[in-house]
Amino acid sequence: MHQQRDVPIQTGSHFVSQGPLRLKRNAEHEVSSTSLNLNLAFVAGCLLAATGMLCAVLIYRTRKSEVKYQPLKSDDI
């Protein structure tokens, strides 16, 4: 018959001299990183929209300042 041995739980810190070492992430950490990515995407989108609006206003103003032709007064009247 095979018997399982009890493995003591180790909670102390250990020095790892060889790797790579990959740790499982907690579910809480994944949620916070997802919300961080969404916040970063939102901020980047807002900055992009603000830059687009600023460019549109500058283009509108530069085209508005062009010389406008006016009809000449005629002496026929």
What token pair was written down for 10?
Answer: 């180790």
- The Cα 62–Cα 54 span in angstroms is 12
Identify the pLDDT of residue 34.
74
Q: Provide the residue ranges of all domains of the chain, joining segments of one domain with +.
A: 32-65
Q: How many CB atoms lie within 10 A of CB 32?
A: 10
Q: How far is CA 19 from CA 14, 25, 26, 64, in A?
A: 13, 17, 21, 64
Q: What is the pTM of this model?
A: 0.43
Element (H, E) at 23: none
Identify the pLDDT of residue 77.
54
- The Cα 34–Cα 42 span in angstroms is 12
Identify the pLDDT of residue 70.
79
Question: What confidence tens digit (pLDDT) does each residue in 12-60 have?
Answer: 777 767 777 777 766 555 556 677 788 899 999 999 999 999 999 999 8
